[in-house]
Structure 1
Amino acid sequence: MYLTRFRINTARMGARRLLSSPQVMHAAVMSSFPTAPPAAGEGPRVLWRVDHNSASQVLLYIVSPDRPDLTHLVEQAGWPTAEEGWQTRPYTPFLSRLENDGIWAFRLTANPVHSIRRTDGEPTKRTAHLTPRHQTQWLLKRQKDAGFRILEKPEEQRRLPEGDAHELIVHGRRDLAFGKTEQTSGRKNRVTLTAVTFDGRLQVTDPDALRRTLVAGLGKAKAYGCGLMTLAPVG
C-alpha cells in the first residue's frame, strides 16, 4: 500500500476543472495507474480526498495498492518545473505499527447517508444526513466496527447541551451534483451527494479493523472523494 500527497496549483485552469467535478478528479486519479486497480469491494482499493486547507493550499491525498504516477496531474494542475511534483511513501510499515489503545488525530471526508421509507411498502431511499448532529451520530455508529473510539471531552469542556461530547469537529460540507454515464447501458444519470469532513482524536480499539478502514474506506461515494481516513500523531 502507498500514501501519496499532491499539492494542487489552484491558479491553473486544469486545477479548477478537476476541483469542480468529483467525476473528473476520479478519472484523473485512476489514470495514475498503468494497470487497472482492484474492483470495488471490502479489500484495499484506490481512495482519494481533497483537503482545502486554505485558498492557496489544496492537497490531494491518495491511498492505493500500487504506486501512482501523477505526471499528468503535474502537467495539468501542478508545478511542472518543480523538482518533486508529488510525494509517495510506503503505507504498509505505518499500518503495521498501529497498536491497541494508541491515540491519533484523524481526518475523514465522508458521505453520511441513511435509508428511509416514507410510506409502508415504499422502497427505501438513500438520503444524506444534513445536520452536524446527525452526521456525528452517523460516524459514532460506525466507530466500533471500524476499529476505533472517538475520544470524549471532559465534562468541563462541553459547551452545548447535546452533540458536543466528543473530540470531533464536523465542517466543510459540500453539496455536489454532476452527470454520470453508465458504462454498460450508456444511460445518463444525475448524481447528488453531500460530503463533510470530520477532524478529531481517536483511540485504537481493534488494529486489524482500523487497518481495513484505512485501506478500504468508510461509507459510500468512495469513487467521488469520500471514505479516506488519515491519521497523524497527536500534538
Structure 2
Amino acid sequence: MTAPTNTAAQHVADGETGLRVWRSALTLSIEQQHLCLDVQELHRLVMRGFRAPHTVTATRTPRPAGILFAARRSTPLRDPGTRRLSAGAPEKILVQSPQQPHWSHLLSAGALTAATTIPVRQHYNTGDIIEGRTFANPVAHDRRTGRNLSRRTAQECGEWLRGKLHQQGLDISPQRITMGEGQSVTGMHGDDPVKIILREMFMTGIVTDSDKFHALLAGGFGRAKAYGCGLLLTRPVE
C-alpha cells in the first residue's frame, strides 16, 4: 500500500518515510455538545475548520482526504429495556489533518471554548513494538443481504481489528487487545437516519511494514471515518 502524495505520510527531512500531521485539541461549548449528539452535526463542526469561515451549507460537507477525528464523550446512557449503551455528548475532539486548520471563527462564534493545534511527526521502523488506541466501528459485509452488520462480541471485534491492521502493517495478537462496550451514536444524513456502534479499542502490536503502517496512521482505517472512527493513536514500547 502506497500512501497518496497528498496525505501526511511523506518523506521527512532525514529521508525516511514517516508521519507528518497537524493535531488539534478542541473543547466544545455546552450548547455545541448538545447539538453534536447528532454525528452529522459533529462532522460538520470538524469540517468547518477546513473551509472559508463564512461558508454555510445545510448538506453534508465532503471530508477532505486525510482528516480524522475522535471524540471524548460524557457518560453514556443505558437503555433500561435493551440494556444497550447510547454514547454521551462529545465534550472534546482530537482532529488530525495533513494541512493546518483554522478554528478562530468557531471560537469567536462560541462553538468552541478552546482550541490548540500543534505539528506532529512520528516515525516507526519495521519490527518496532507499539501501543495503540482507537475508536472504531467494527462491521462486516454480509454478501447474502448486501448489508453491513456490526460485530457484537469481543471476540468478533478483536478478529475484525486484527484483520484490518494486519493488512496495513501491524500485527497484534488476541491477548493484546482490550476494548470497551459498544455505544451507539446517531444522526440524520438528509432524510436518512445514521446509526453507528462505536468501540474504544486498545492494543499492543509489532510493525511488520513501516510504509504501510505510516499510511495507516495518516489515513485511518475501517468505516465511519467521517463520524469519528478510524484514527489510530500510538506510542512506542521500549
- State the TM bucket, normalised to the shorter chain: 0.7 to 0.9
Counterpart check, 1:113 vs 2:139:
yes
Q: 1:178 aligns with which of 178, 187, 191?
A: 187
Q: How many residues align?
A: 198
1:127 deviates by 0.9
Contact map agreement 1:110 1:227 (CA 8 A) in 2 = yes
Where does residue 110 of structure 2 map in the other structure? 76
Where does residue 6 of structure 1 map in the other structure? 25
Give the secondary-structure state (helix, strand or coil) at the position aligned to 1:76: coil
Measure, in 1, the Cα distance between the counterparts of 2:232 and 2:119: 16
Runs of 5+ consecutive residues of structure 2 not aligned to the other structure = 1-7, 9-20, 56-61, 76-87
Q: TM-score, normalised by structure 1?
A: 0.73
Contact map agreement 1:22 1:224 (CA 8 A) in 2 = yes
Contact map agreement 2:138 2:160 (CA 8 A) in 1 = yes
Measure, in 2, the Cα distance between the counterparts of 1:47 and 1:216: 8
Q: TM-score, normalised by structure 2?
A: 0.73
Measure, in 1, the Cα distance between the counterparts of 2:133 and 2:216: 13
Measure, in 1, the Cα distance between the counterparts of 2:169 and 2:26: 30
Q: Say if 1:60 and 1:234 are closer, same or farther in 2 by CA, change over 3 A.
A: farther
Measure, in 2, the Cα distance between the counterparts of 1:4 and 1:198: 20
1:232 deviates by 2.1
Measure, in 1, the Cα distance between the counterparts of 2:73 and 2:22: 18
Runs of 5+ consecutive residues of structure 1 not aligned to the other structure = 80-84, 153-164, 182-187
Counterpart amino acid of residue 16 in structure 1 = H
Contact map agreement 1:4 1:86 (CA 8 A) in 2 = no
Measure, in 2, the Cα distance between the counterparts of 1:172 and 1:86: 29
Q: 2:67 aligns with which of 19, 40, 46?
A: 46
**Aligned structure 1 segments of 4 or more residues deviating by more than 3 angstroms:** 52-55, 72-79
Q: 1:65 aligns with which of 91, 98, 105?
A: 98
Contact map agreement 1:33 1:69 (CA 8 A) in 2 = yes
1:3 deviates by 3.2
Higher strand share: 2
Counterpart check, 1:27 vs 2:44:
yes
Measure, in 2, the Cα distance between the counterparts of 1:58 and 1:232: 24
Contact map agreement 2:66 2:98 (CA 8 A) in 1 = yes
Measure, in 1, the Cα distance between the counterparts of 2:185 and 2:127: 36
Measure, in 2, the Cα distance between the counterparts of 1:16 and 1:140: 34
Where does residue 83 of structure 2 map in the other structure? none
1:7 deviates by 4.3
Q: Say if 1:140 and 1:8 are closer, same or farther in 2 by CA, change over 3 A.
A: same
Higher helix share: 1
1:14 deviates by 1.9
Counterpart amino acid of residue 99 in structure 1 = N
5 Å matches for 1:1-235?
1=8, 2-8=21-27, 12-18=30-36, 20-34=37-51, 44-52=65-73, 58-74=91-107, 75-79=109-113, 85-91=114-120, 93-94=121-122, 97-117=123-143, 123-150=145-172, 152=173, 165-181=174-190, 188-234=191-237
Contact map agreement 2:28 2:92 (CA 8 A) in 1 = no
